[in-house]
Amino acid sequence: MDGPADPRPRLEQTFFADPVLDRVLGMVMALSAEVWVLRERQRRMAIALERAGLASDATPSAEEEAALARERDAFTAALLENLLGRQVSKGAP
């Protein structure tokens, strides 16, 4: 039996030798998702204020929505870059 009514605990997925790293990564990803939600919400509020309205949730134009999508994609790429295993900063010569 395997489904929503199955009371047996399921094993966690592991990607690293130390499962604590998997848990920390999960936590970082969850927090990063929340940061993005807050950034996008703040930007939408700024758009509303720029339009001189008092609405707390503006609907962006197609151009503004595309800009938000580009910002989100760049944020996600920067966040996930660490998983590539490449050194980003240069060490001492």
Structural domain total, the chain: 1
Amino acid at 88: V
> Structural domain of residue 33, as residue ranges?
19-79
Does the pLDDT of residue 21 top 80, yes or no? Answer: yes
Residue 3 located in a structural domain: no
Determine the straight-line distance between the first and last CA of the chain, rounded to whole angstroms: 59
> When comparing pLDDT for 77 and 88, which is higher?
77
Residue 29 located in a structural domain: yes
CB 39 within 8 A of CB 75: yes
Summarised one tens digit per residue, pLDDT across range 35-60 is 999 999 988 888 888 887 776 566 88
**Global pTM value:** 0.47
Does the pLDDT of residue 12 top 90, yes or no? Answer: no
Residue 87 located in a structural domain: no
CB burial of 52-77 (b: ≥16 within 10 Å; e: otherwise) equals: eeeeeebebeeeeeeebeeeeeeeee
